[in-house]
Structure formats: structure tokens, C-alpha cells
Amino acid sequence: MSLRRVVVTGLGAITPLGKNVAEFWDGLSRGVSGAAAITRFDASKFKTRFACEVKNYNPDDYFPTKEGRKMDLFTQFAVIASDEAIKDANLEGVNKDRVGVIWGSGIGGLKTFQEECFNFAKGDGTPRYNPFFIPKMIADSASGNISIKNGFRGPNFVTTSACASSSDAIVAAYNYIRLGMADVAVTGGSEAAITEAGVGGFNALKAMSERNDDPQSGSRPYDKDRDGFVLGEGSGALVVEEYEHAKARGAKIYAEIIGGGLSSDAYHITAPDPTGEGVVLVMQNALRDAGIGPEEVDYINTHGTSTPLGDGAEIKAIQKVFGEHAYNLNISSTKSMTGHLLGGAGGIEALASILAIQHGIVPPTINHFTDDPELDARLNFTFNEAQQREVTVAMSNTFGFGGHNTSVVFRKLRD
């Protein structure tokens, strides 16, 4: 059986840098930080009091009030981004039996879960819960709502693998299409974990930056003084499609997905393997699946969360996989601008990789002040300013708690 080619025909986004793809890319290419003081709740007593929120968000701008109340914020973000991607792909007239929705979210409806538990704790012990509590909370409500709104009757599910969730969804959609189980899929991911429980929980893990005096420089991947990630929220969506199907209907094609790799660290529930062996394996698997050599990759959008251990392990792995070619690569962490969207990270970082191919611009790693002596300074981390270069092949890396590793490889379309 010959595998079918898979291309990207639609993009959508709602992010800390902007509420559509154009605004998102403008912020990325200009090196804008999305970090600011938290407005979602009173964070004055928390160790971390800033995050990368979607700015000036009002659900009434997107949904009738009654409809919006039936969806958790992470689902609202999913529907908004997917609406833009579907419109961009112009899916009018396609066979909806052959269109799937494969989505990623690491946490799901945390805001809903927290609110319902808080309300119960404040009451008299009588169990009074919103009838939409469970449908709003469960992670698959995102893919379900996208499917219902658009009438897509193909494969429909959500992947949950912590911060690798969105990339796993993209790889799953890629595989379903190339195996002939669907012709089109809406994929990507969303997260909305900027809540008391989310911030408090990650603070307890000592995982987040506490640079409250200068939030915009809080996320500083590969900097010597990095002190943890900055929490982000939002969604990135892609429409992916079988190549001949897209060509037959005259679709605009942004890039081709040529490979996806998965692996596990099998090491620790939260800490990365300091040897980077799982990360080595996932990139090797992705390159093997793509049928290309390391020397063909131009840009890696790294996981790069701004944690002391994780950043170093990933860079060691890149040097092991790419050898001398590592010095020809552009490497950057767009989390320095967007913060860490957890299960939604792979969605917006896939967009960043595809847009780098489209525009011939590598978005920067901002907030670099001091070289880390443990990292090879000869590598091109694209520090502080975007760089122009032709990007034919881009790799997007995402790694999650539990040791989940995923790499996706995109290439400029070849006829």
C-alpha cells in the first residue's frame, strides 16, 4: 500500500500575540513578548503573578451568550482558531463524511472544574452542579464542538499527552489521511490553564518563572539565568488534507507534512532525561519517517520552555542527531514570546514552523541576555531578532510531562 501525501491548506490562531494568524505572525516576527500581569484572577498571593494571556478576550465577540456558556475557555479557543482555519481552507463542498477533527489538549476544562469545585465547597454540602459541568470539562469537548458546528463526520477524538498533545494530534491526523481513513482533518490544540489551580499547581512544582518585576523577560530559553516557563493560553489550528484532493479543488497549499516521530523518555513523571536520549530518538524517528537526512533540515522550532534542565537536554540531543549540520541550522523557541501553551503548544508552534517556510523568516528567541556556558555558543539560537533565510524544511519539537516526545517535519511543497 502506497502512503498518500498530506498538505496543509488552512491556518487559524488565537494567541497571546494576537487573535488571528496575521496578528500572531506579526508578533512573532517582530519579537514581541505576550507576557503581562495576570488579569484572569487576583494573583497577588501567588509566587508567579504574570502569564501570557489572550489579550482583551470577550467570548461575546465570537459566540451568542447562551452558546458560549456551554463551552469552557479552552473549547472556545479551539472553535475560534478552527473557524479561521476552515474558512482559510475554503472547505465548502467537500464530503463531510471524509473530514475528521483530531485535536489536542493536555488539561482540558480546568477553569470549569475549578469553578464547580469552588462553588460546591462554598455551599452547604448539597451537590448542586451545573448540568454542563462534565460536557464543558472533558477534553474531547473541543473536537466534539468543532465537529458539531461544521457537520464533520470523519474520525473525531482528542489526544492528551501533556505538552505533546497538539503535536500528537497533528501526527495522528497526518497518519489517518495518508492511510486513507480521511481526506481532510482539522487538527491542532488548545489550552486555558491560567487559573488559580493552574498557576498554583505549577508553582508547587517549581516549574514557572517568578520574575514578577519584569514579566516580559520572564521566558528566556537558553539564557544562563532562565528560571522556568511562563504559562500561556490560546489555540493553533491547521486544516490538513490529502494532496491530490487539495489539488483537485484548487486549494491554497502552505506546506507539506512529510514526517512525524514519537518516543518516550521512560525516565521521570516531570523531569526530562538529562541525557536527552528520548529526544534523540524522537527526532531520528521523525527524520526516518520523512525519508530525509539531517542535513536537509533548515530550522527547528524547539520545545525550549526556559527551564534549566529541559533546554540543555534538547540542545545536546540536537547536536547528537545533526552533528556538524547543527551549526547550519536556525534554532529558536517561540515560547519566549507566547509562553508555554502546554497541550496547545504544538498547534501554535506548527503554525510558526509553517509560516517560517512561507515567509522565509525564522522567528527569534527573545530575552537573551547572558550566554549559558553549558550550551554551545556556536549554535544559531536566533537570539533577539528574526532572521531571513530560505526555510525548505522545518521541524517542530514538543515534549510533555510523563516523558512524551513528538517531532513533526514540514517541507515547502514540491510538485
pLDDT per residue over 309-330, tens digit each? 999 999 999 999 999 999 999 9
* Domain span at 202: 7-248
Q: In this structure, are 105 and 28 located in the same domain?
A: yes
Does 384 fall in a domain? yes
Residues annotated as catalytic (active site), given as ranges: 163, 303, 340
**What does the pLDDT look like over 68-103, one tens digit per residue?**
999 999 999 999 999 999 999 999 999 999 999 999
Burial bucket for residue 265 (CB in 10 Å: 0-12, 13-18, 19+):
buried
> 72-83 burial by CB neighbour count: b if 16+ within 10 A, else e?
bbbbbbbbbbbb
Does 403 fall in a domain? yes
Domain boundary among 222, 248, 274: 248
**What does the pLDDT look like over 183-204, one tens digit per residue?**
999 999 999 999 999 999 999 9
Does 253 fall in a domain? no
Q: In this structure, are 242 and 149 located in the same domain?
A: yes
Q: In this structure, are 282 and 159 located in the same domain?
A: no
Q: In this structure, are 226 and 286 located in the same domain?
A: no
CATH code, domain with 79? 3.40.47.10
Does 275 fall in a domain? yes
Counted domains in the chain: 2
Q: In this structure, are 193 and 265 located in the same domain?
A: no
Domain boundary among 217, 248, 279: 248
Q: In this structure, are 89 and 141 located in the same domain?
A: yes
The predicted model scores a pTM of 0.97
Cα separations in angstroms, 301 against 27, 278, 305: 16, 17, 11
Cβ-based neighbours of 35, under 8 Å, separated by 6 or more: 16, 50, 51, 52, 215, 216, 218, 219, 230, 339
Q: In this structure, are 327 and 223 located in the same domain?
A: no
Q: In this structure, are 280 and 141 located in the same domain?
A: no
Q: In this structure, are 136 and 45 located in the same domain?
A: yes
Does 255 fall in a domain? no
Q: In this structure, are 92 and 194 located in the same domain?
A: yes
**What does the pLDDT look like over 112-128, one tens digit per residue?**
999 999 998 988 888 88
Whether 292 and 393 have beta carbons less than 8 Å apart is answered as: yes
Q: In this structure, are 183 and 293 located in the same domain?
A: no
Q: In this structure, are 241 and 283 located in the same domain?
A: no
Does 159 fall in a domain? yes
Which residue ranges in the chain fall short of pLDDT 50?
A: none
